[in-house]
Amino acid sequence: MLNVPAPDLGDIAVVLGTRPEIIKLAGIIRHLGPRARTVHTGQHWDDDMAGKFFRDLGIGEPDVRLETVEGQIRGLQVGNGISELAAHFQDHPVTAVIVQGDTNSTTIGAQAANYLDVPVVHVEAGLRSHDRAMPEEINRLVVGAIADLHCAATPQNAENLLREGIEPSRVLITGNTVVEATLLARELPHREVQDLVSEKALQEGYVLVTIHRPENTDTAESLERVVSALSTVGCNVVFTLHPRTAAAVERFGLQRYLDGFEVLTGVGHADFLELASHARLLVSDSGGVQEEVTVLKKPLLVVRRSTERPESIDAGFSRLITPDLDLASEISAALADTSWSDALRDRPSPYGDGTASRQIAERSRSLLGRETALPVV
Ligand code: UD1
Ligand code: UDP
């Protein structure tokens, strides 16, 4: 363990490892107060992807930081993480463990807890893409089998769980914590992009892009499809670069396409949302961004084979652009369709009313053990 746990560690572990988990769990951590024990797996380790978010979101440094996950391949991230975390929980017991979403850190937290008979609360439960080639889909299925309390963001997510045989009393529909995270971040200062969004060239309009999924970054062809399409649409492109994508651009020699874009790294949450709220269009494969556009009321093209977030599409905020479609034509058509953006202005978000973090913190406080993990309804 890198950090020796302090004797006054909280008894509800919130296990998190990647940028979106920090963003989406910060509200729950704040609501739990001194009972929260933040455990950072180290899956994302750059300050730009982790440390900056802990600071900006006001949740301080993690209480515990695993040291055997960072920079490992998937199998070792998960295997090492479970061992190290189970050893920590054995030495420093907890009453419950909260995990979020579908990352390798999510499955680490859920498995380490369950094998020690500690109740698991799964935030953002019940998403399914039905694409087993995605590591995230496997993580969702594993955590879905393990969790004691499933906090589903939407009725469709709850329906997926019930169809898989989860007892209804273990499923709670809470909305997604990203709603309050987005509303809060919009009140924070957006320091670093202030000048950029005021630039004359960008005032004419821009597409905001963030891409990181293996399906778009693991082969030269898939990544070139995205960046070459963006380079031909005749609109400014602001490209916020994920480290996985930065490595792929370099590995596949695709830098020439990015030379024409405004490329940004290390963009914090408030800054990213500021960029999003001024964009004419977003293009992304991000999960969180599919949800955030429903709060910001912005149009989004989702560059993916499939999505586990149909609610954003059904509500009209997102359109799924599968690999068989011509991406440049789709972007151009979306930019030309000003009625799309106008129609979103007053549309409600399908992801809830901004109270998910409070609801989940309250339920987690009342868990006393696996047998008593059923929610009191
Ligand atoms: C992970 C999650 C994904 C989530 C994303 C959020 C899994 C299987 N994937 O994907 O669901 O959408 O986080 O951003 O858990 N890297 C760095 N520095 C960092 C972090 C990553 O350089 O701080 C680079 C490394 O080259 C690393 C690669 O990014 O090998 C991939 O990182 P990893 O955490 O394995 O997966 P993500 O693609 O970030
Ligand atoms: N985000 C950010 N800076 C960026 C790009 C994204 O703060 O440069 C935020 C975004 O607003 C969202 C979250 O990161 O809240 C999404 O993370 P990511 O796309 O890495 O993961 P996913 O949601 O796909 O799991």
Report the pLDDT value the prediction gives residue 106, as an integer from 0 to 100: 98
Cα angle for residues 58, 64, 70 (degrees, 5° grid)? 100
From 15, 19, 24, 44, mutation site for ligand 1 pocket: most ligand atoms within 8 A of C-beta: 44
For residue 145, give every residue at least 6 positions away whose Cβ sits within 8 Å of its Cβ, in sequence order, or none: none
pLDDT at 147 over 50: yes
Question: Ligand 1 mean position to 44 CA, how many Å?
Answer: 6
Tell me which residue has tokens 């651009």: 249
- DSSP state letter for 170: G
pLDDT at 371 over 70: no
Nearest CA residue ID for atom 14, ligand 2:
20
Give the confidence band of 4 by pLDDT, cuts at 50, 70, 90: very low
Give the confidence band of 204 by pLDDT, cuts at 50, 70, 90: confident
CA distance 95 to 61: 21
Report the pLDDT value the prediction gives residue 71, as an integer from 0 to 100: 97
Per residue in 36-60, pLDDT (tens digit) is 999 999 999 999 999 999 999 999 9
* 206 bridge partner residues: 236
- State the alpha helices, DSSP H only, in the chain: 19-32, 51-56, 74-91, 104-115, 135-146, 155-163, 178-185, 194-198, 200-203, 214-217, 220-231, 243-251, 255-258, 269-278, 287-296, 310-314, 327-336, 338-344, 356-365
Q: Quick one: 170 exposed, middle or buried, by C-beta within 10 A (0-12, 13-18, 19+)?
A: middle
CA distance 122 to 375: 13
Nearest CA residue ID for atom 25, ligand 2:
287
- How many other C-beta atoms are found inside a 10 Å radius of the C-beta of residue 139? 22
pLDDT at 375 over 70: no
Identify the three-state secondary structure at position 46: coil
From 286, 292, 308, 312, mutation site for ligand 2 pocket: most ligand atoms within 8 A of C-beta: 286
pLDDT at 374 over 80: no
Q: Is 119 left (phi over 0), alpha (psi -120 to 50) or beta?
A: beta
Report the pLDDT value the prediction gives residue 2, as an integer from 0 to 100: 45
For ligand 2, say whether the CB of 238 is within 6 Å of any of its atoms: no
Domains 12-177+354-365 and 187-344 share a fold: yes
Closest alpha carbon to 309 in 166, 167, 136: 136
Active site (catalytic) residues: 212
pLDDT at 183 over 60: yes
pLDDT at 3 over 60: no
Structure tokens at 19: 């940028």
Report the pLDDT value the prediction gives residue 376, as an integer from 0 to 100: 47
**CB contact at 8 A, 375 and 147:** no
Structure tokens at 187: 């009140």
Q: In this structure, what is the dihedral angle of CA atoms 90, 92, 97, 101, given to the nearest 10 degrees?
A: -80
Domain 12-177+354-365 adopts which CATH fold? Rossmann fold (3.40.50)
From 16, 25, 43, mutation site for ligand 1 pocket: most ligand atoms within 8 A of C-beta: 43
Per residue in 9-25, pLDDT (tens digit) is 999 999 999 999 999 99
Nearest CA residue ID for atom 21, ligand 1:
44
Average pLDDT, the chain: 94
Record the pTM: 0.96
Atom of ligand 1 nearest to the CA of 244: 29
Report the pLDDT value the prediction gives residue 221, as an integer from 0 to 100: 98
CA distance 287 to 18: 13
Q: Provide the residue ranges of all domains of the chain, joining segments of one domain with +.
A: 12-177+354-365, 187-344
**CB contact at 8 A, 178 and 23:** yes
Q: Give me the mean pLDDT over the 234-244 stretch.
A: 96
Tell me which residue has tokens 């068989």: 324
**CB contact at 8 A, 1 and 67:** yes
Nearest CA residue ID for atom 4, ligand 2:
267
Per residue in 293-348, pLDDT (tens digit) is 999 999 999 999 999 999 999 999 999 999 999 999 999 999 999 999 999 999 99
Report the pLDDT value the prediction gives residue 5, as an integer from 0 to 100: 47
Q: Which CATH class is domain 187-344?
A: alpha beta
